[in-house]
Amino acid sequence: MPKFGPISRRDLIRYLRQLGFEGPYPGGKHHYMIRETKRLAIPNPHQGDIGRGLLHRILQQANVSREIWEDL
């Protein structure tokens, strides 16, 4: 059950897979994950965690509510 806050890239990918996304696949400037016809860009690996603001934008693009995210 991830809380809505900073998260590592590895954990983000793991939780997105639980939501039915496949990948990540390389492409362009960023890796991406796919669920049905939805293509979701994933941040590149970097030193720190993914912050709340970026996590919020990623979840909006994935059509995942905060409640669904925290219920994983």
pLDDT at site 2: 79
The phi and psi torsions of 44 (rounded to 5 degrees) equal -70, 155
pLDDT at site 1: 56
Q: What is the mean pLDDT of residues 18-26?
A: 96
Distance CA 21, CA 10 (A): 14
Q: What order of strands is seen across the sheet that includes strand 31-35?
A: 22-25, 31-35, 38-42
pLDDT digits (tens, 9 = 90+) for 30-71: 999 999 999 999 999 888 999 999 999 999 999 999 999 999
Q: CA nearest 4: which of 62, 50, 48, 43?
A: 50
